[in-house]
C-alpha cells in the first residue's frame, strides 16, 4: 500500500502529467496515421527523453506505446487499413461493419474492448507485482542468460515461414552489438581500423534507421496516396453496454494478451490469434467471424491492448525486453543508470507502481480523448503518404543528431534506413535485429559472469529456475520440430492463403 | 470465412521479388565477416572460451552464415517471382533520399537548424510533386513546428548555425538557445 502511495506521489508532478497527456494523445494520433506507428514515434523521441527524469521520459513513451493501438483501430475499421500492424485483425470484422453502416458501433466496440484489455492487464500486473518481487531475486546471471536465450529463440520461431530469415537477422543483431571496443579485455572487434567504429554501433542509431528512416524511405519511394476516411456519426458510448454482453470473450482475450505479453518474443499476434480462435470456436455465430462479428472485433482489440502492460513484466522484473518497443525503452533506463531487473522490484517498487498507475491513467485519458476527437482524427488520416515520408525524415534527423551531434551517426542511420527499406519491401522482419542487439549484449555479459562459478555443464542448470528455463527451451524447440512436421503434412495450397493479412504484418 | 487454418498460416510471411538478390548479398557479407574473425578479433591466451573477445562474434557470424545459407537455398528452390530487377532498382532509388538527408545533416551546423529544416521541408516537398503554394506553406510550417517542438520546447542538443555568428549580440544568443 505504501508503494502505491509513493508511486502516486511520484506521478504528482506537472512534468509527469504533461508527459502523460502528450504521450497518450500523441500516441492515438500517431497510431491513427497509417505508416507511422508507435515504433517510429518512440524511436524519434528516445533521445529527447534522455534529458528528462526517468519517470517523465518513460511515462511519455509508455503513453505512446499504450495508446497507439486505440488510434490504429480507426483506419482499420473505417478504411480497411490498419493504423498499426497489430490492428490488422481488426480490419476483418471492423471494416465489414462499416460497410453495413455500423461504423460508430464498430469504433465504440473497439474503444471499449481496448480499454477493457488495457485496464485488465494493468490490474493483473498490480496484483501480480508482489509475486514478481518474490520470484525476481532468484534470477541470477545464468537464469537471466537463459531467459534472454529463450527470448531470442521465441522471437525467431514466432516468424513462422521466415524462420531462416529471422534467425539470420537476429544473429546479425547480436553481431553488430559486438562491434567496437569490448569492455573486458579492451580489444577491438570488427573495427577495420576505422575510428568511427571503435565506440560500436549505437542501438538508438540502428533503431532510428531501421524503424523511422526506413519508413520515411518506403513512403518516399512509394506511390502517393491520401487515405479517404469519412467522418462517423452516432454515439461512441454504446460499445460499453454491448461489451457487457460479451464479458467472457473480453476477459478471455485480455487474459491471452496478458499471458502472451509476458512471454518475450511472442506478443500481440499470437495473443490475437489465440483469442480470435477461441472466440470463434465458442461463438453462437461463428459464421459471422471475418464478416463483421462484434465478438471478433472484441477478441482482436482486447487482446492487443492487454499486451503493452504485460510486456513491461519481463522488462521491469528481469531487464529482458520481449519486443522492439520495450527494447527501446530499456535504453531510457540505461541512460539514467536505473537498471531494470530483480533489484528494481526489490528496491524501487514505488517506481514500478508509478509506471502502472501511469498506464492505467493513460487508458482513461485516451478514452476521453477519443470520445471527442474521432472525427478530427479521420481528417488527420488523410495526410498524403509521400508528404508524411518527408515529415518522418525531418523528425528522424533530430532523433539521430541530438544523440551526440554526429554526422557519422546520421550516415550510419541512413545506411540502416536503406537496409530497413529492403527488409520491408521483402516482407522480412526487422524486430529480430533489435532484439538480437539487446539480448545479445545481455547474454554476453551474463554468460561471462555465470561461467565463473560453473565447473561442469550441469552446474549451469542446477538451480530450479535455471532448470525450468532450460526445460522450456528444449520443450519449445521439440514442439517446434513436431509442429513443422505436422503442418507440412496439413499445409494449405498457395491459393487458399490470405496474402493481404500477412503482407500487413510488417515488423 | 476461414482466412487461416493453422498457426503456421497465420504467421507465414511470403517471398517478394528480389528475395534471392538479398539472400546472396547477405550470405556473401556473412561469409566475408566470418573469414575476418582471425584478423578482426583477438584470441587471448589463458582466458576461458566464454570470456574470449572473439566468442560472441564467432557465434553470431556462425549462425548468420548458417541461416543465410538455408535462406538462400529456400529462395533458390522457390518459383521465380517476376519483377526482381525493378525491385532492386527501387532499393537504389532510395539513395536519392539518403543524399537529401545527408545534405540536410551537413547544412544544419552551417545555416542553423531552423533555416535548414524549413528549406529541406519545402524543397523536398517540391521534389515529391507538391508544387502548390499551399503545400509549400504547409511544409514550411511543418519545419517550424518541428524546430519549435524539439529545439525551443524540448531543448534537444542541436548546435547553432555558423551564420548565427553574424547576428547582433542579443539576437545571436537568442537564436543559439532557441533555434
Listed by start position, the domains of chain B span 7-77, 94-178
| Cell matching residue A32 | 491513427
Q: Looking up cell 494478451, which residue turns up?
A: A257
The gap from C-alpha A17 to its chain's centroid, in whole angstroms, comes to 23
Q: Which band of pLDDT confidence, cut at 50, 70 and 90, is reported for residue A489?
A: confident
Q: What is the pLDDT of residues B41-60, one digit of tens each?
A: 998 888 888 889 999 999 99
pLDDT at A83: 80
Over residues A78-107, mean pLDDT: 87
For residue A45, what is the nearest residue in chain B, using CA coordinates?
B150
Element holding A163 (H helix, E strand): helix A163-178
pLDDT at A167: 95
For residue A48, what is the nearest residue in chain B, using CA coordinates?
B156
Residues 324-363 of A with CB under 8 A from B: none
Instruction: Considering only residues A35 and A498, tell me which one the structure prediction assigns the higher pLDDT.
Output: A35
Instruction: Considering only residues A76 and A323, tell me which one the structure prediction assigns the higher pLDDT.
Output: A76
CB contact under 8 A, A414 and B102: yes
CB contact under 8 A, B12 and A391: no
The ipTM value here is 0.92
Q: Which band of pLDDT confidence, cut at 50, 70 and 90, is reported for residue B28?
A: very high
Give the Cα separation of A306 and A301 in Å (integer): 9
Give the Cα separation of A429 and A422 in Å (integer): 11
pLDDT at A47: 85
pLDDT at A407: 93
Q: What is the pLDDT of residues B105-120, one digit of tens each?
A: 999 999 999 999 999 9
pLDDT at A491: 66
Q: Which residues in A lie closer than 8 A to residue B60 (C-beta atoms)?
A: 171-172, 174-175, 178, 436, 440
> Taking 60 as the threshold, does the pLDDT of residue A229 lie above it?
yes
CB contact under 8 A, B91 and A418: yes
Among A63-72, A407-416, B94-103, name the one with the lowest average pLDDT.
A63-72
> Taking 60 as the threshold, does the pLDDT of residue A350 lie above it?
yes
Q: What is the pLDDT of residues B9-21, one digit of tens each?
A: 544 556 788 889 9
For residue A425, what is the nearest residue in chain B, using CA coordinates?
B16
> Taking 70 as the threshold, does the pLDDT of residue B132 lie above it?
yes
> Taking 50 as the threshold, does the pLDDT of residue B178 lie above it?
yes
Q: Which residues in B lie closer than 8 A to residue A401 (C-beta atoms)?
A: 105, 108, 158
pLDDT at B9: 53
Residues 142-171 of B with CB under 8 A from A: 142-143, 146, 150-151, 154-159
Domain boundaries, chain A: 2-503
**Measured between CB atoms, which of A387, A410, A499 is closest to B102?**
A410
- Alpha-carbon dihedral sign for residues A189, A192, A197, A198: positive
> Taking 60 as the threshold, does the pLDDT of residue B84 lie above it?
yes
> Taking 80 as the threshold, does the pLDDT of residue A501 lie above it?
no
Q: Which band of pLDDT confidence, cut at 50, 70 and 90, is reported for residue A349?
A: confident
Give the Cα separation of A85 and A91 in Å (integer): 11
Give the Cα separation of B137 and B133 in Å (integer): 6
CB contact under 8 A, A410 and B47: no
> Taking 70 as the threshold, does the pLDDT of residue A494 lie above it?
no
pTM of the model: 0.89
Residues 115-134 of B with CB under 8 A from A: 117, 120-121, 124-125, 128-130
Contact B56/A at CB under 8 A: yes
Residues 485-504 of A with CB under 8 A from B: 487, 490-492, 497-499, 501-503
> Taking 50 as the threshold, does the pLDDT of residue A82 lie above it?
yes
Q: What is the pLDDT of residues A458-477, one digit of tens each?
A: 888 889 999 999 999 999 99
Comparing C-alpha atoms, which of A115, A106, A108, A118 is closest to residue A294?
A106
pLDDT at A503: 43
CB contact under 8 A, B93 and A389: no
Contact A394/B at CB under 8 A: yes
pLDDT at A4: 79
pLDDT at B156: 87
CB contact under 8 A, A398 and B60: no
For residue B92, what is the nearest residue in chain A, using CA coordinates?
A418
Contact B178/A at CB under 8 A: no
Q: Which residues in A lie closer than 8 A to residue B155 (C-beta atoms)?
A: 51
Highest mean pLDDT among A151-160, A336-345, A444-453, B52-61: B52-61
**By percentage, how much of chain B surpasses pLDDT 70?**
92
Residues 287-316 of A with CB under 8 A from B: 289-291
Q: Mention every residue, 6+ apart, whose C-beta is less than 8 A from residue A327.
A: A203, A207, A321, A434, A435, A437, A438
Comparing C-alpha atoms, which of A114, A60, A120 is closest to residue A370?
A114
Among A178-187, A455-464, B90-99, name the one with the lowest average pLDDT.
A455-464
> Taking 60 as the threshold, does the pLDDT of residue B3 lie above it?
no
Q: Which residues in B lie closer than 8 A to residue A189 (C-beta atoms)?
A: 40-41, 53-54, 57
Element holding A188 (H helix, E strand): strand A188-189
Q: Which residues in A lie closer than 8 A to residue B56 (C-beta atoms)?
A: 174, 178, 440, 443-444
Q: What is the mean pLDDT of chain B?
A: 89
Contact A481/B at CB under 8 A: no
Please give the torsion angle defined by the CA atoms of residues A480, A485, A489 and A490, in that order, rounded to the nearest 10 degrees.
Answer: -10
Over residues A20-48, mean pLDDT: 88
> Taking 90 as the threshold, does the pLDDT of residue A397 lie above it?
yes
Taking phi first (over 0 means left), then psi (-120 to 50 degrees means alpha), and beta for anything else, what does residue A80 get? left
pLDDT at B95: 96
> Mind telling me how many Å the CA of A350 is from chain B's nearest CA?
27
**Measured between CB atoms, which of B6, B9, B60 is closest to A178?**
B60
pLDDT at A189: 94
> Taking 80 as the threshold, does the pLDDT of residue A399 lie above it?
yes
Q: What is the mean pLDDT of chain A?
A: 87
> Taking 80 as the threshold, does the pLDDT of residue A498 lie above it?
no
Contact A189/B at CB under 8 A: yes
Amino acid at each position: 500500500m505504501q508503494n502505491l502511495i509513493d508511486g502516486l506521489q511520484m506521478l504528482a508532478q506537472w512534468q509527469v502529467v504533461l508527459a502523460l497527456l502528450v504521450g497518450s494523445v500523441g500516441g492515438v494520433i500517431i497510431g491513427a496515421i497509417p505508416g507511422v506507428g508507435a515504433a517510429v514515434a518512440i524511436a524519434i523521441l528516445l533521445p529527447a527523453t534522455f534529458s528528462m527524469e526517468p519517470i517523465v521520459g518513460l511515462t511519455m513513451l509508455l503513453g505512446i506505446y499504450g495508446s497507439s493501438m486505440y488510434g490504429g483501430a480507426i483506419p482499420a475499421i473505417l478504411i480497411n487499413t490498419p493504423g498499426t500492424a497489430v490492428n490488422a485483425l481488426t480490419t476483418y470484422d471492423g471494416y465489414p461493419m462499416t460497410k453495413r453502416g455500423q461504423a460508430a458501433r464498430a469504433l465504440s466496440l473497439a474503444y471499449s474492448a481496448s480499454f477493457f484489455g488495457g485496464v485488465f492487464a494493468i490490474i493483473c500486473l498490480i496484483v501480480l507485482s508482489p509475486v514478481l518481487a518474490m520470484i525476481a531475486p532468484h534470477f541470477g546471471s545464468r537464469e537471466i542468460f537463459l531467459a534472454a536465450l529463450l527470448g531470442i529463440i521465441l522471437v525467431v520461431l514466432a516468424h513462422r515461414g521466415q524462420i531462416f530469415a529471422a534467425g539470420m537477422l537476429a544473429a546479425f543483431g547480436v553481431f553488430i552489438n559486438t562491434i567496437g571496443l569490448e569492455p573486458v579485455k579492451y580489444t577491438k572487434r570488427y573495427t577495420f581500423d576505422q575510428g568511427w567504429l571503435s565506440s560500436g554501433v549505437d542501438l538508438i542509431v540502428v533503431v532510428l534507421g531501421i524503424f523511422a528512416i526506413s519508413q520515411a524511405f518506403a513512403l518516399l519511394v512509394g506511390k502517393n496516396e491520401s487515405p479517404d476516411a469519412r467522418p462517423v456519426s452516432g454515439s461512441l458510448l454504446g460499445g460499453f453496454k454491448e461489451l457487457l454482453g460479451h464479458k467472457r470473450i473480453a476477459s478471455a482475450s485480455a487474459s491471452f494478451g496478458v499471458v502472451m505479453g509476458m512471454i518475450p518474443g511472442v506478443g500481440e499476434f499470437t495473443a490475437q490469434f489465440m483469442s480470435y480462435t477461441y472466440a470463434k470456436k465458442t461463438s453462437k455465430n461463428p459464421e459471422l467471424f471475418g464478416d463483421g462479428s462484434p465478438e471478433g472485433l472484441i477478441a482482436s482489440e482486447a487482446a492487443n491492448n492487454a499486451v503493452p502492460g504485460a510486456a513491461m513484466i519481463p522488462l521491469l522484473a528481469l531487464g529482458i525486453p520481449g519486443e522492439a518497443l520495450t527494447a527501446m525503452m530499456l535504453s531510457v533506463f540505461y541512460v539514467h543508470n536505473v537498471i531494470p531487473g530483480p533489484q528494481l522490484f526489490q528496491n524501487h517498487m514505488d517506481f514500478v507502481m508509478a509506471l502502472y498507475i501511469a498506464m492505467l491513467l493513460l487508458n482513461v485519458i485516451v478514452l476521453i480523448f477519443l470520445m471527442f476527437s474521432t472525427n478530427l482524427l479521420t481528417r488527420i488520416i488523410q495526410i498524403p503518404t509521400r508528404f508524411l515520408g518527408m515529415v518522418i525524415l525531418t523528425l528522424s534527423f533530430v532523433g539521430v543528431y541530438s544523440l551526440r551531434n554526429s554526422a557519422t551517426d546520421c550516415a550510419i542511420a541512413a545506411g540502416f534506413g536503406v537496409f530497413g527499406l529492403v527488409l520491408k519491401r521483402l516482407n522480412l522482419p526487422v524486430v529480430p535485429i533489435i532484439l538480437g542487439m539487446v539480448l545479445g549484449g545481455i547474454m554476453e555479459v551474463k554468460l561471462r559472469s555465470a561461467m565463473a562459478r560453473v565447473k561442469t555443464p550441469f552446474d549451469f542448470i542446477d538451480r530450479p529456475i535455471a532448470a525450468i528455463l532450460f526445460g522450456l527451451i528444449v520443450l519449445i524447440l521439440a514442439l517446434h520440430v513436431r509442429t513443422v512436421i505436422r503442418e507440412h503434412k496439413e499445409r494449405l495450397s498457395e491459393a487458399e492463403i490470405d496474402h493481404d493479412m500477412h503482407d500487413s504484418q510488417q515488423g | 470465412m476461414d482466412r487461416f487454418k493453422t498457426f503456421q498460416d497465420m504467421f507465414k510471411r511470403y517471398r517478394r521479388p528480389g528475395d534471392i538478390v538479398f539472400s546472396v548479398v547477405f550470405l556473401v557479407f556473412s561469409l566475408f565477416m566470418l573469414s575476418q574473425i582471425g584478423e578482426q578479433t583477438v584470441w587471448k591466451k589463458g582466458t576461458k572460451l566464454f570470456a574470449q573477445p572473439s566468442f560472441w562474434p564467432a557465434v553470431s557470424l556462425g549462425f548468420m552464415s548458417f541461416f543465410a545459407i538455408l535462406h538462400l537455398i529456400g529462395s533458390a528452390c522457390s518459383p521465380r517471382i517476376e519483377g526482381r530487377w525493378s525491385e532492386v532498382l527501387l532499393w537504389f532509388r532510395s539513395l536519392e533520399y539518403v543524399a537529401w538527408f545527408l545534405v540536410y545533416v551537413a547544412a544544419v551546423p552551417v545555416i542553423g537548424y531552423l533555416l535548414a529544416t524549413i528549406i529541406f521541408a519545402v524543397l523536398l516537398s517540391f521534389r515529391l510533386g507538391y508544387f502548390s503554394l499551399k503545400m509549400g506553406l504547409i511544409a514550411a510550417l511543418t519545419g517550424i513546428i518541428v524546430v519549435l517542438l524539439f529545439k525551443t520546447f524540448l531543448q534537444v542538443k542541436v548546435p547553432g548555425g555558423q551564420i548565427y555568428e553574424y547576428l547582433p549580440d542579443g539576437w545571436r544568443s537568442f537564436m543559439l538557445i532557441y533555434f
